[in-house]
Structure 1
Amino acid sequence: MKGKVVFIGGGPGDPELLTVKAYKVLESADVIIYAGSLVNRAVLDCAREDALIYNSASMNLDEIVQVMKDETSKGKTVARVHTGDPSIYGAIGEQMEDLQELGIPFELIPGVSSLFATAAALETELTLPDVSQTVIITRPEGRTPKPSGESISSLAEHGATMCIFLGVHMIEEVVSDLRSHYPAETSAAVVQKASWPDERIVRGTLEDIAGKVKESGIEKTAMIVVGDVLGTPHVTPSKLYDRTFTHEYRKGSE
């Protein structure tokens, strides 16, 4: 009997932000391959004592897939744990493609993205009425190229809330690109290791955020958030709970 691979979103760091469904899989999995450079090892505390555990930080794609192939051929369940939700910069597409070619069944369990843990740490709503109803998720170009038209300076033209992964080590270049369209006084924040015990938050504007981040020494595992949602002193109430607003479940009053 062939086993299967279960891709799991391990959450942003806090083990209690692991979904119940993911917890149950980790609790029973025969083999666990986790992204040790980003996933909090405490997320695996629920694993069986006899489970085989691999840290993929020191493995290449061929080695990872080989473990999956060998173990599923024995009828084993392999839990592949990625940080946050694996659909965002999780590099799961190539793994799923290999598994499909090998005829190995797999499923995906979504997780809490560091993006949402960052919003929680900042105590902000990313889509405020009259401020921004769009969230752009992106990263600066590095060793992984970006399609033309997806440069940060091009995306900044929309003036939306922007959440930038994998860019804090080049904060000065990121800010320079953002300043092509966002005013200097636009609010900005950097959250390192959102939801971890050693979480850190740096707040400022595009005028000073790069200097503050440099001074803090933050160089990795951090999210950059830019937009007026961070600096709005008064929130315009939504229509959803407006007493005069009628919708399917409630009739508004005059």
Structure 2
Amino acid sequence: MTTETNPVIFAGAGPGDPDLITVKGQTALAGADLIIYAGSLVPEALLKWKRADAQAVNSAAMDLGDIINMIQQAHGQGQKIVRLHTGDPSLYGAIFEQMRELDRCYIPYEVIPGVTAAFAAAAAMGMEYTLPEVTQTLILTRISGRTPVPDQEDLDLLAAHHSSMAIYLSIVHVKRVQEILSRHYGEDGVCAIAYKIGHPQERIIYTTLAHLSHTVETQNIKSQALILVGDAVAVARDKGEVIASKLYDAGFTHGFREKK
């Protein structure tokens, strides 16, 4: 990335709710002359932040060359450009390939992060992924499909950690996901389906791994859903008791407080 003026801005739109975009992202949209948004996932409601005279282009039917050509032309005309991606653009956002093409064109860019669906889902569920003495690790991953994953990141290997997991882009392979997770978390393991988080159709559906694929089928869920699993999910569902952290323990001393 260069430090020249008028960079192309890659902005995270958040999970769907137009109010969950960052203030910095909102400001970028308001100042843009051209917004190229990933319309297959970014709802048009996010465009409420653009100026009336700004151009908005849905990139769902565009390939990489189309997108870069449009950016080149607009940037050459001195336009302010926002490339709007769903969630946080660094996670399954395919932005790196776009940035490399912009490097070759000597077009500067910067990235504004966004709220990814796993964190918006946790907020909707009142869940903390990292509970003291329960789990201190969250794995964000997907199952191998049309886009393969490296062998060392196979879902079966990752699930063996028994940590909190948020599984993206895998709902169409739910039977394979169920089979793998059941081996590690048990068929009675609690999981959640987080559907269209941040959209008006948002739903959180709790079930067990034994009934995961059946639940997905009966609820007619075919896309835009995360699968969340781990002990933290069960605690969130049951509003269970947990071990309190040391951070607010009156008997624990740290750099800002003496124990009582």
Which residue in the other structure is 2:174 paired with?
Answer: 171
> Displacement of 1:2 after TM fit?
7.2
Secondary structure of the structure 1 residue equivalent to 2:185: coil
- What one-letter code is carried by the residue in structure 1 that aligns with 2:102? L
CA distance in 1 between counterparts of 2:218 and 2:126 reads 23
Matched, 1:247 2:246: no
Secondary structure of the structure 1 residue equivalent to 2:152: coil
Matched, 1:19 2:22: yes
Q: Is the 8 A contact 1:3 1:74 kept in 2?
A: no
Gaps of 5+ in 1: none
Which residue in the other structure is 1:220 paired with?
Answer: 223
Secondary structure of the structure 2 residue equivalent to 1:217: coil
- The superposition leaves residues 83-103 of structure 1 with CA deviations (integer Å, 9 ceiling, x where unpaired) of 000000000010000011111
Query: Which of 162, 165, 168 does residue 165 from structure 2 map onto?
Result: 162
* Corresponding residue pairs, total: 253
Query: Which of 190, 203, 210 does residue 193 from structure 2 map onto?
Result: 190
Query: Which of 229, 236, 249 does residue 243 from structure 2 map onto?
Result: 236
> Displacement of 1:179 after TM fit?
2.0
Query: Which of 7, 10, 20 does residue 10 from structure 2 map onto?
Result: 7
TM-score between both structures, scaled by the size of structure 2: 0.95
- What one-letter code is carried by the residue in structure 1 that aligns with 2:109? F
Which residue in the other structure is 2:48 paired with?
Answer: 45
Which residue in the other structure is 1:206 paired with?
Answer: 209
- What one-letter code is carried by the residue in structure 1 that aligns with 2:147? T
Which residue in the other structure is 2:89 paired with?
Answer: 86
Matched, 1:125 2:128: yes
Q: Is the 8 A contact 2:182 2:189 kept in 1?
A: no
Bigger shift: 27-36 or 113-122?
113-122
Secondary structure of the structure 1 residue equivalent to 2:153: coil
Q: Is the 8 A contact 1:2 1:75 kept in 2?
A: no
CA distance in 2 between counterparts of 1:235 and 1:69 reads 54
TM-score between both structures, scaled by the size of structure 1: 0.97
Matched, 1:36 2:43: no
- What one-letter code is carried by the residue in structure 2 that aligns with 1:57? A
Question: Identity over aligned residues, as a percent?
Answer: 45
- Describe the shift of the 1:235–1:252 C-alpha distance in structure 2 as closer, same or farther (beyond 3 A): same
Matched, 1:150 2:125: no
CA distance in 2 between counterparts of 1:66 and 1:59 reads 11
Which residue in the other structure is 2:62 paired with?
Answer: 59
Which residue in the other structure is 1:135 paired with?
Answer: 138
- What one-letter code is carried by the residue in structure 1 that aligns with 2:65? D
- The superposition leaves residues 178-225 of structure 1 with CA deviations (integer Å, 9 ceiling, x where unpaired) of 123222221100011112111112111112122112110111001100
CA distance in 2 between counterparts of 1:213 and 1:121 reads 19
- What one-letter code is carried by the residue in structure 2 that aligns with 1:70? Q
| Runs of 4 or more above 3 Å deviation | none
Bigger shift: 103-112 or 226-235?
226-235
CA distance in 2 between counterparts of 1:85 and 1:106 reads 16
